[in-house]
Structure 1
């Protein structure tokens, strides 16, 4: 006889309906726990083990054009590997299909190389257009900081000279 969740857990918790609180807190169509007030109660129950645990991402998500190029490259490489395997097996079986498959796998290798290079170039172009990720050791960050300082000094010298000229009557400081 199959035992349901209510029978395994013991007495009903919701006043005699025979359905436990954990079953009531699941989505009606899939049995997936729904976040709500009962979810916190489940976590405090001894022996409760969640199906998954949320963890922060280790790295940021790839930009969309780079991810698109990477998916394309993975698909082309996979197809090329399949072509190479079919060519190898056809050669072992001395099939007429061996020569066309060898030609197709050579062409696939060229296309796969092109796709992998496309991922690299797309990533470089994205970084160039949208700036590099600033980390403390980044040389680009130090260069930007130095350019900002130079612009501030130039602006301060430009505005500072104008103020002195407006204050004095002859454009000089207090002593000649």
Structure 2
């Protein structure tokens, strides 16, 4: 019997099993709750609108009378989806502004400071 395959050490004791997964540190912090809620809403709206668009295409190909109402719902869903995606962007910006996320000055801002700095001979 092969010692490596039977799951035992050479001294006869069973080998310890390796864990199924190892936890890795997160590189980015978790999104704030309001931003995450807006993102979930936006993803649900995108999924619903995509489903409506596919239904409109299939109903049009089938020649069904339901194609027009579903097409109208798809247009309304597109407007709602655009609103939802913009809501994520605005919520993220508002959260950053209210909670004081430090921004790095751009190179143009550094250049303007450098130009205003007094020069000594």
TM-score calculated relative to the size of structure 2: 0.73
Aligned length: 99
Residue of structure 2 equivalent to 1:165: none
Rg bigger for which structure? Answer: 1
Residue of structure 2 equivalent to 1:124: 93
Gaps of 5+ in 1: 1-7, 14-19, 23-41, 43-47, 143-176
Residue of structure 2 equivalent to 1:146: none
Residue of structure 2 equivalent to 1:108: 77
Gaps of 5+ in 2: 1-5, 110-121
Q: Which has the higher contact order (CA 8 A, sep 6+)?
A: 2
Q: Measure the CA separation in 2 of the matches of 1:75 and 1:63.
A: 18
SS at match of 1:117: helix
Residue of structure 1 equivalent to 2:35: 66
CA root-mean-square deviation: 2.3
Q: 1:49 offset after TM fit, Å?
A: 4.1
Q: 1:139 offset after TM fit, Å?
A: 2.1
Q: Equivalent of 1:139, from 84, 105, 115? A: 105
Which deviations, in whole Å up to 9, do the C-alpha atoms of 1:14-34 show, x marking residues without a partner? xxxxxx7x8xxxxxxxxxxxx
